[in-house]
Amino acid sequence: MTHADGQPTTSTSTSASASNTATRTGSATTTNTTNTSLDVSALLDRINTDNTLPGTIVDLPIPGAWVYVPRTFSDDRGSFHEWFRGDQFMERLGYPFTIAQANLSRSTRNVIRGIHLADVPPGQAKLVTCVAGSITDVLVDLRTGSPTFGKHVSLPISDAQPLIVHIPLGVGHAFHAVSETAVVNYLVTETYNPDAEWEIHPFDGALGVEWDIDEDTAILSPKDQAAPHLADVTDRLPNYREVRGWEQELQRGWELAMDESDAWAGE
């Protein structure tokens, strides 16, 4: 049994420390030295102000990543919104977002989960939303050859701003629990496979993720705390062209299945 993003339920969160990182890698990495953040401030402003966006998909700067902006209905009872629209997601992807596993994580303030990734193929695409509290959701493009390789996007998500984030194959995922408690739901396209899923340290200076807290304050699982750095896993990183090729195979497979279904229906 696992937490969301493949963290075993038996893991106990512990405070990350610069000294532990230095012992593991030979150098402290608490200081982010590289500016790798992709600006999404204009996009967030548009989401907050453009009344035509609810019910639509908006692209993020990382290729293949996007957010679904749900249409929320509120009254004296509370609110309601759809957070999975298989028809719209299939139209966007070119094949169905097949749900193989649904995960839920509950995190206390200052918890960071990630950066997590799965080998491609088959990879593990994700749809992520925050249903209680608030988080800073982070996507890191780890596909070598991608136009945004090594870059990341940070998005505020909360129960008051219930964005649904699509993390494509080959893109790493992490989040920081900003509220006292944050509940995050994940839908993923492959079941948990410990041999194919791995992690990169969230405070790796080469990635330059600007977290809202420092490493000494962050609460990491032992697995994430002991995670390697980008420079240590270059031979395992997915290739952008190969990932796109795999996604195109999924598209062709779906088109073939639909053609066969139409032919069978016509007999």
Mean pLDDT across the stretch 60-74?
Answer: 97
Give bridge partners of residue 187 from the DSSP assignment.
Answer: 102, 127
Helix (H, G, I), strand (E, B) or coil at 120: coil
Q: Is residue 82 part of a domain?
A: no
Distances (CA, A) of 148 to 57, 60, 132: 20, 11, 31
Query: Do the domain assignments include residue 25?
Result: yes
Mean pLDDT, rounded, for 111-139: 98
177 conformational bin, left if phi > 0, alpha if psi -120 to 50, beta if neither: beta
In a domain, residue 126? The reply is yes
Residue 25 is part of which domain span? 4-29+43-70+87-259
- Mean of the pLDDT values across residues 217-244? 98
The pLDDT score that the predictor gives to residue 216 is 96
Q: Residue 149 domain-assigned?
A: yes
Q: How large is the average pLDDT for residues 145-149?
A: 98
CATH code for position 166: 2.60.120.10
Contact 16, 216 (CB under 8 A): yes
Residue 261 binned pLDDT confidence (cut-offs 50, 70, 90): confident
**At residue 171, what is the residue type?**
V
Q: Does the residue 224 lie in any domain?
A: yes
d(CA 162, CA 141): 23
CB-based burial label for 183 (10 Å; 0-12, 13-18, 19+): middle
Mean per-residue pLDDT, 35-48: 92
pLDDT at 34: 63
- Report if residue 117 sits inside a domain: yes
Question: What span, in angstroms and rounded, lies between the C-alpha atoms of 140 and 39?
Answer: 13
pLDDT at 207 over 50: yes
Per-residue pLDDT tens digits for 3-35:
444 444 333 333 333 333 333 333 333 444 567
Query: Considering the domain boundaries, does residue 77 fall inside one?
Result: no
Report the pLDDT averaged over residues 139-163: 97
Mean pLDDT of 223-236: 97
Average pLDDT, stretch 212-225?
A: 96
Q: Which among 15, 202, 8 is positioned nearest to 103, based on CA atoms?
A: 8
What's the burial of 224, exposed, middle or buried (CB within 10 Å: 0-12/13-18/19+)?
A: buried
Structural domains counted in the chain: 1
**Residue 260: per-residue pLDDT:** 77
Catalytic residue numbers, as ranges: 116, 186
Give the C-alpha distances (Å, rounded to integers) separating 8 from 4, 11, 213, 225: 9, 6, 24, 14
258 confidence band (pLDDT: 50, 70, 90)? confident
What does the pLDDT average to over 255-261?
A: 84
Mean pLDDT computed over 78-83: 94
Residue 265 lies in a domain: no
C-alpha distances (whole Å) from 205 to each of 34, 66, 208, 234, 247 are 7, 25, 5, 15, 30
Nearest to 172 by CA among 227, 107, 118, 94: 118
